[in-house]
Chains A and B, each alone.
Chain A
Amino acid sequence: MAQVPTAEEQVPTADCQVPQKPARPSVPVERPARESTRSWPLADRIFYWLCWATGVGLCLIAAWIVLYMMVKGVSFLKPSMLVSSPKPEITQQGSGGFSDPIVGTLIIVAIGTALAVPVGMGIAVWLSEYARPRWLARAVESTLEMLAGVPSVVLALFGLLVFSQGVLSFLSESSVSGGVTGISFLTAGITMGVLALPLVVTANYEALRLLPSRVREASHALGKTRITTIRHVLLPSIRSASATGGVLAMGRIVGDTAIITILLGGGVNTEPNSGFLGLLRGTGATLTSYIYYESPAGEGNSHEKAYAAAFVLLLIVLVLNGVATWISRERGGARRSIWSALGWGVPWTR
């Protein structure tokens, strides 16, 4: 820098005392008094307290659910339940644990996320960077909105219809009589991917739209193609939004029950045939369907197991939510995270 050092900036020598700046002001600090609602009109005060009460009420309900489940879960959950399979016994002691549903949840989340994230990011990139012809982009946008509003049970029913077609018989085991069941980890996972797709697209699309055009222009001005720009500049810039979208998708998939009960069978055991593909084509259970099965409404009717499994499920969802919050907070640059430590901070917000 062509900076000419001025007298003030010169390095102080030993005999030159630099006055220490006090950490706090020595004069009295003034802070504005907190506004009191007493001076407000009555209607304003009533409305204010109503808003306050709803907010606090929501927190209370959430805390009640979590605490109740924690107390129940901790009292019923035994470590052995996490590693033993459910058994067809009537007694609570004999009915085993829920290792199968845990594995089932992991498989379904893996399949669903592996489908929804790449496809969703592709759609988001197309919508934000290409979107030609216009009418098609508009159609895709409204389709996604509609898809986001479809109840998962409707989606599951439609999935059953599609996946029991003969052409798609490779996705699921066939019944003894030769009919295509359409019920398997694969079909349920694919349907979960469709369910989570709108979440992923929205998260990425919004982030891409918020990137200023000068980011793209900077890359184009260096003679880079659109694809290079997308891969090396745009996608790294929206890393945290993509991660948030992925985590939200996982949370959605973990929590859905209707698709599982319809497309993964009503049992609680994983019924693999042979090998990895056999497992994926077989039926099984997830934590949600296990909870339903063991609840007083289901066949198992073993509420202790249901509470224990619900506690595990709640933990998974809370962790996923926490991860999503943590990643998205990093967006505002409020704190240093793993991403920014790796040099992937979010640059375009300044």
Chain B
Amino acid sequence: MPPPIRRIALDRAPTVAPGAASGNGHPPPAATRSQTARLRAARPPVASVRERMALESVWLAYGENWVVRDVSLTVRQGEVLALIGASGSGKTTLLRSLNRLTEITDGAARAGRIALDGQDVHALEVNSLRRRVSMVFQQPNPFPMSIFDNVAYALAEQSPARGRRRRRRTPEIERAVVHALRRAGLYEEVAGDLDRTALRLSGGQQQRLCIARALAAEPEVLLLDEPCSALDPISTATIEELIVSLRESVAIVIVTHNLQQAFRVADHVAFMHLGELIEYGLAEQVFDRPTQERTREYVSGAFG
């Protein structure tokens, strides 16, 4: 049973699907399904879809506690992959393992292989990996600097030779910052004064600034950990449109507790439960015709 949702259509006014009956396990009404198909067709087509990251039987643990068990997935550029599941199902841990942020936590252990463009991520230098696989967090967390410096901070190369010098605003950096802000759909709102502190922006603007910051270093994969859970519906809609429009140039993985959101933005959906990957497939398939009983219960709101 799909939740009452709309898919994002970039080139038309938002359409709200007629609310489906609340989850009781019946097959969805035909109207909802056909509407879904219609809205999906309205999403901007992507020229090419190609594989960026591959997870092969990945296991992750904190201490002796295995929180992700034997997960295999593919992350493709040109698509949005949504990880859904109840709290404690290992979604965030799995997401953080993609750019090795799990390593910050004491006692983190792993097994299996995570590859970025065919290369094992653990063979890469960790900071260059994180520049290629960037992340946006649940809470907007701009740094206590100006808007410009927030984005420029992500850009700056770390060369010890000029470490002590103050970074100059070269036209190059300026262009890159403006480009990143434009991609995050924030530039028009802040163009007047890039030097004011980022902390005075609204929550939604701060989160888009964080996305701009994550995009600044031109990553290949963008990880989003519940990016809208601290935001109001209007900011959420803006960011969802942004996610859909970005998927052409960067592979996107989003963790969300919001099923409607997953349905609105995702091309593929992975449903996790207690650390295991229960179901992985196209969004329509997972929401409309789940093959697993657990998935059907979760997407219809029986638990979670």
Contact = CB atoms under 8 A, between A and B. Distances in A.
Contacts of B177: none
A208 to B, nearest CB: 14
B127 to A, nearest CB: 4
A217 B104 contact: yes
Interface in B114-137: 127-132, 134-135, 137
B199 A214 contact: no
- List of 6 A-B pairs having minimum Cβ-Cβ separation, nearest first: A223-B131, A223-B130, A221-B135, A343-B197, A223-B127, A218-B141
B104 A220 contact: yes
Interface in B185-219: 189, 195-197, 199, 204, 210, 213-214, 217
A237 interface: yes
Given A1-B234, A345-B197, A218 B143 contact: yes
A113 to B, nearest CB: 23
Nearest to B189: A1
A308 B159 CA distance: 56
Interface in A192-250: 214-225, 228, 232-233, 236-237
Interface of A: 1-3, 214-225, 228, 232-233, 236-237, 340, 343-347
Contact of A219 (B143, B195, B204): B143
7 contacts: A215-B141, A218-B210, A221-B135, A223-B130, A233-B143, A236-B143, A347-B143
B144 interface: yes
A222 B241 contact: no
Nearest to A345: B199
Contacts of B132: 223
Contacts of B217: 222-223
B145 A2 contact: no
Contacts of A218: 137, 141, 143, 210
Contacts of A223: 127-132, 134, 217
Interface in B135-156: 135, 137, 139, 141-146, 153-154
Given A228-B158, A343-B195, A347-B144, 19 more contacts: A1-B234, A1-B235, A214-B141, A218-B137, A218-B143, A220-B130, A221-B130, A222-B131, A222-B154, A223-B128, A223-B130, A223-B131, A224-B127, A233-B143, A233-B153, A236-B145, A343-B145, A343-B146, A347-B199
Contacts of A345: 144, 197, 199
Interface of B: 14, 99, 101, 104, 127-132, 134-135, 137, 139, 141-146, 153-154, 158, 189, 195-197, 199, 204, 210, 213-214, 217, 223, 234-235, 237-238, 241
B209 to A, nearest CB: 11
A340 B146 CA distance: 12
A214 B294 CA distance: 32
Contacts of A219: 143
Contacts of B210: 218
A340 to B, nearest CB: 8
Nearest to B129: A223
A225 B199 contact: no
A228 to B, nearest CB: 6
B96 to A, nearest CB: 9
Contact of A217 (B137, B142, B204, B241): B137
A217 B101 CA distance: 8
A196 B157 CA distance: 37
A345 B47 CA distance: 45
Contacts of B141: 214-215, 218
Contacts of B135: 221
A347 B210 CA distance: 15
Contacts of B158: 224-225, 228
A346 B144 contact: yes
Contacts of B101: 217, 220-221
A308 to B, nearest CB: 44
Contacts of A216: 104
Given A2-B241, A236-B144, A222 B137 contact: no
A221 B195 CA distance: 24
A221 B144 contact: no
Contacts of B143: 215, 218-219, 232-233, 236-237, 347
Contacts of B196: 343
Contacts of A340: 197
A296 B214 CA distance: 69
Contacts of B137: 214, 217-218, 221
A61 B135 CA distance: 57
A223 B156 CA distance: 10
B172 to A, nearest CB: 19
A216 B153 CA distance: 14
